[in-house]
């Protein structure tokens, strides 16, 4: 393990129950890989779907985005800033993610111009692609402290 959850929380503002990366296992100059253990105890399984629990696709995309944000937010110019999900293209879901799965989350930086960037992302279970797509992000200043 390269980063544990505490290091991840130092890089991105997400917190449980909306933090979808347990650990970062690989970091390169332009790529990163993380993992999420899907235990079956997560809040979303209560209604998605009773008797046949599956991780919602939008949360798989969010997990890929958070993993990519861990890569981007290591850049010295971006530390202390907030990563925002700005868009997605060509997202496809290839197989379901269920309790007991370990989701491997991969992101590769395609480009970054100023505070806007794009990554190619994949989520895999046991080496099989569960989801993939191109995710765009922007980086903003710190969150307001006046409750907005």
The two tokens of residue 106 are: 């991969």
Sheet holding 31-37, edge to edge: 23-27, 31-37, 102-113, 116-125, 128-140, 82-93
Q: Give the DSSP H/E element, type plus range, for residue 72.
A: helix 57-72
Catalytic one among 14, 48, 52, 75? 48
Does residue 52 have an active-site annotation? no
Residues taking part in catalysis: 48
């Amino acid at each position: 393990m390269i980063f544990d959850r505490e290091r991840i929380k130092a890089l991105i503002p997400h917190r449980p129950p909306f933090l979808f990366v347990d650990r970062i296992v690989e970091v390169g100059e332009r790529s990163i890989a993380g993992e999420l253990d899907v235990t079956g105890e997560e809040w979303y399984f209560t209604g998605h779907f009773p008797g046949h629990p599956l991780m919602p696709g939008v949360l798989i995309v969010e997990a890929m985005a958070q993993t990519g944000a861990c890569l981007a937010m290591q850049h010295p110019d971006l530390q202390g800033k907030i990563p925002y999900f700005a868009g997605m293209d060509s997202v496809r879901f290839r197989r379901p993610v269920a309790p007991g799965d370990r989701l491997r989350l991969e992101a590769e930086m395609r480009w970054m111009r100023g505070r806007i960037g794009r990554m190619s992302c994949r989520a895999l279970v046991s080496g099989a692609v569960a989801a993939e797509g191109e995710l765009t992000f922007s980086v903003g200043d710190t969150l307001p402290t006046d409750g907005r």
